[in-house]
Amino acid sequence: ETGVTQSPTHLIKTRGQQVTLRCSSQSGHNTVSWYQQALGQGPQFIFQYYREEENGRGNFPPRFSGLQFPNYSSELNVNALELDDSALYLCASSPGQGILNTGELFFGEGSRLTVL
Amino acid sequence: GNSVTQMEGPVTLSEEAFLTINCTYTATGYPSLFWYVQYPGEGLQLLLKATKADDKGSNKGFEATYRKETTSFHLEKGSVQVSDSAVYFCALRPGAGSYQLTFGKGTKLSVIP
């Protein structure tokens, strides 16, 4: 069983640029969520996708956007990068909605973004 | 809103010592509670969970009891090992209809031989 994989693992951007991060969910999982983890902090929920639609969003501005594809993989896009966007971005998948949702998330190792 | 507060780290213990990491929460309704662990160089993984008051979650010698009266979910282990060195995160999910986790800031545990 393949776990959650993310790419790239590390990247450096400059302020004002745009970035795309990618995530492949664990086999059989149709729900993907993204979290931002600043240094020394716990992960903060950005948004969640289920069946290619966003079905939950945290307190992040619209320049954070995402996509989910028919194979359940996902992208996180961040426009107009700011210095405070420097963080570890975590993708997590889960096996479903309703009674299948036990609340357990399966995390990737993250993409570390540095904005200069 | 929902929030999780856990004890500040880092925590350094000798092997075989007793571990407690405190976690308290604020939430409306009946949240589910979780402990996640992040080992060096690895992604977050679920350690244990409890979905209703008085439930006890347990895994790998770790335990935590969902205490609604004190809004707490403290993590304990009777005898830690060097391999338990990691960052531990307490988290809550507000209710069965919500899929968003709210995490605490994390507590780094170092166990020395």
Q: How far apart are the first and last CA of chain A?
A: 37
The pLDDT score that the predictor gives to residue A51 is 87
The pLDDT score that the predictor gives to residue B41 is 84
Q: Which two tokens stand for residue A85?
A: 């966007």
Contact check, Cβ <8 Å, B106/A42: yes
**Min CA distance, B69 vs chain A (Å)?**
22
Tens of pLDDT, residues B57-66: 999 999 999 9
Nearest chain A residue to B38, by CA: A109
The pLDDT score that the predictor gives to residue A104 is 82
A5, A88, A105: best to mutate for the B interface, most B CBs within 10 A: A105
Amino acid of residue A57: R
- Tens place of pLDDT per residue across chain A (116 aa): 578 999 999 999 999 999 999 999 988 888 899 999 999 899 999 999 988 999 889 999 999 999 999 999 999 999 999 999 999 999 999 886 655 566 788 999 999 999 99
Beta strands in B1-113 (DSSP E): 3-6, 11-14, 19-21, 23-26, 32-38, 45-50, 56-59, 62-65, 75-77, 86-93, 102-103, 107-112
Contact check, Cβ <8 Å, A31/B34: no
Only one residue has tokens 């929030």, namely: B3
Contact check, Cβ <8 Å, B49/A104: yes
Taking only residues 33 to 92 of chain B, the set having a beta carbon closer than 8 angstroms to any beta carbon of chain A reads: 34, 36, 41-46, 49, 51, 89, 91
